[in-house]
Structure 1
Amino acid sequence: MGFISTSCLGGCAQRPGPLGEKTIELDDFDFSTPITDIFPDRYISTEWGENWYRIPTPSTEDGEDGYLYQKETCIDFYDNPFWITYSQMGSCDADELLSMGGHTFSTANFAVTLDGRRIAAAGGCNRNITKEDCDRFITLLTKRYGEPEQGDGEWFPCRLYKWKLKDRTLTFAIHETDEHNELKLERVYHEEDNTVEIREDKRRNRTEGYFFVFDGEWYDRFVRTQSVAKGDICYTY
């Protein structure tokens, strides 16, 4: 995971196609894209039903079904429907589902208006990013959009950068994990005697980068409705 070619930045972004078939660019993202372009009916899970999708990704091996996504209507503090989210149930660091400024993200999450006609937010996470890549990403966005607002996350310990533009809001959060008190287990299969060994795995801290782009005033509306926060999007405020 890292940076891809930046030769097309600022002007040649294409309308998103089906998720997992090609990296979706968030540069100049078209929020009017029908969500059915990204989650076509052929992705609907025959096993789980109409609110679940199976997404093929480059890391999906032959014979596997891909990642499971859940379509869910989220409510506000007063139990009123707020928007519809499409949330990823699994990920692989090798995938490049989204990109922004040439930087790629291995997860992809979307929030859509209740009528399904407009995407309100899109973004994802790189769970194994370097601090140097974070600095380069922030520098690139700052050159493009100006100095960001900076602060600390309200839900999780992270450093948050925010660019508020006329038609959209961009957020980038840097989260440092701390695994020194965690018990990590590794499952090892021994083919010679057909046994499975469970042993303690190596602990390591890592840097995670969460990037989202919000349409119009949806960022402020979302922050005012904190009860709908779920998954990666929690790292946007």
Structure 2
Amino acid sequence: MKNNITLLLLLFTIMVTTCYGQTKPIGEEPLNLENFNFDTKISDLYPEKNKSKDYIGYYEIKGALRSQLVVKDTTFLNEYSENKKAIGIKYRQQSSTSIDTMAVFKNQKFQKINVATTIEGKIKVINAVSEELTGQQSRDLFKKLVTQYGKPKKLKNNWNEKFILYEWIKNNRIVRLVSAYNDESTTMKLVIQPKKQIISSGEKEPHYLVYLFVINPVLKDEVFGKMKTGDFVYLDEKTE
């Protein structure tokens, strides 16, 4: 009887881990944003084995074509003053390719993942970025979120008031979404044809970038108003 109980407990643990935990590092398996469990250990997402051998403070995660670099750094309050205080850790992905899939929501793929934790390593917020979407694809993702979480609250983005920030508040997560249009007016594209020794201008391809944030509601006071670098600048709403 004792052996049966032990076996049942083991099976239950495996089921919980499979359903709610991230068992593979980012890059080895897409992070499921729909049911992400904030009790996941940061070391499960960025294990020691993925620390870069060439760059101090960096991790290397598996990409479709090549490894992508993730920088680990500290979040400070009053960063540029004598009274600065460390309040967390950020893991920010530095590059990506359009065929990478680091995370998914429903069947929407995201090429970049950024993660923020407390100093102790408790995950505060997951940020996923989808970098080259059409207008229709951006609208489809919004519809999926509405189907999943209901009607959102509309806010002005603090970094750029032209962007609308959508927010859904649930018991176990706060979700925020913002879409940014890039017309590539400041982008220079070059087409290189080595055999013909020709370098010409490439055609611009306007597109949308979508920033999705999944926030731990227990730690929201350590997130809102305190994440000011990288893709986290899209997180906050404008306050009057």
Q: What TM-score comes out, normalization by structure 1 length?
A: 0.82
Which digits, 9 at most, give the CA deviation of each residue in 1:20-70, with x for residues without a partner?
111110112111111111111111111112x2111111232xxxxx11111
Alignment of 1:160-199 (within 5 A): 160-180=165-185, 182-186=186-190, 188-191=192-195, 198-199=199-200
Q: After the TM superposition, which parts of structure 1 deviate over 4 Å for at least 4 consecutive aligned residues?
A: 11-14
Structure 1 residue 130: deviation in Å?
2.1
Structure 1 residue 221: deviation in Å?
3.4
Higher helix proportion (structure 1 or 2): 2
Structure 1 residue 187: deviation in Å?
5.4
Task: Give me the whole-angstrom Cα distance separating, in 2, the residues matched to 1:134 and 1:178.
Answer: 15
- Of residues 167-176 and 72-81 in structure 1, the stretch that sits farther from structure 2 once superposed is 72-81
The alignment partner of 2:88 has SS state of strand
Q: Is 1:100 equivalent to 2:105 in the alignment?
A: yes
Higher relative contact order (CA 8 A, sep 6+): 1
Q: What TM-score comes out, normalization by structure 2 length?
A: 0.81
Corresponding position of 2:52 = 45
Corresponding position of 1:123 = 127
Corresponding position of 2:139 = 135
User: Which AA in structure 2 matches 1:30?
Assistant: N
Which digits, 9 at most, give the CA deviation of each residue in 1:99-139, with x for residues without a partner?
112211010110011011x2111121111112222222222
Structure 1 residue 231: deviation in Å?
1.4
User: Is the CA contact 1:163–1:171 (under 8 Å) kept in the aligned structure 2?
Assistant: yes
User: Is the CA contact 1:96–1:105 (under 8 Å) kept in the aligned structure 2?
Assistant: yes
Instruction: List alignment gaps of at least 5 residues for structure 2.
Output: 1-17
User: Which AA in structure 2 matches 1:233?
Assistant: F
User: Which AA in structure 1 matches 2:109?
Assistant: T
Task: Give me the whole-angstrom Cα distance separating, in 2, the residues matched to 1:22 and 1:126.
Answer: 17
User: Which AA in structure 1 matches 2:107?
Assistant: G
User: Is the CA contact 2:168–2:175 (under 8 Å) kept in the aligned structure 1?
Assistant: yes
The alignment partner of 2:223 has SS state of helix
Task: Give me the whole-angstrom Cα distance separating, in 1, the residues matched to 2:26 and 2:165.
Answer: 27
User: Which AA in structure 2 matches 1:214?
Assistant: I
Task: Give me the whole-angstrom Cα distance separating, in 1, the residues matched to 2:189 and 2:141.
Answer: 33
Task: Give me the whole-angstrom Cα distance separating, in 1, the residues matched to 2:218 and 2:193.
Answer: 51
Tell me which of 17, 24, 39 is aligned to 1:32.
39
User: Which AA in structure 2 matches 1:190?
Assistant: P
**Which of the two has higher C-alpha Rg?**
2
Structure 1 residue 189: deviation in Å?
4.9
Task: Give me the whole-angstrom Cα distance separating, in 1, the residues matched to 2:167 and 2:65.
Answer: 31
Q: Is 1:147 equivalent to 2:151 in the alignment?
A: yes
Task: Give me the whole-angstrom Cα distance separating, in 2, the residues matched to 1:38 and 1:158.
Answer: 30
The alignment partner of 1:108 has SS state of strand
Percent of pairs with identical residues: 22
Corresponding position of 1:201 = 202
Alignment of 1:77-116 (within 5 A): 77=78, 79-116=84-121
Task: Give me the whole-angstrom Cα distance separating, in 2, the residues matched to 1:94 and 1:220.
Answer: 35
Tell me which of 30, 42, 52 is aligned to 1:23.
30
Instruction: List alignment gaps of at least 5 residues for structure 1.
Output: 1-10, 61-65
Size of the alignment, in residue pairs?
A: 214
Structure 1 residue 183: deviation in Å?
4.8
Which digits, 9 at most, give the CA deviation of each residue in 1:178-230, with x for residues without a partner?
333x25041515147xxx654333223211111110111434432232xx311
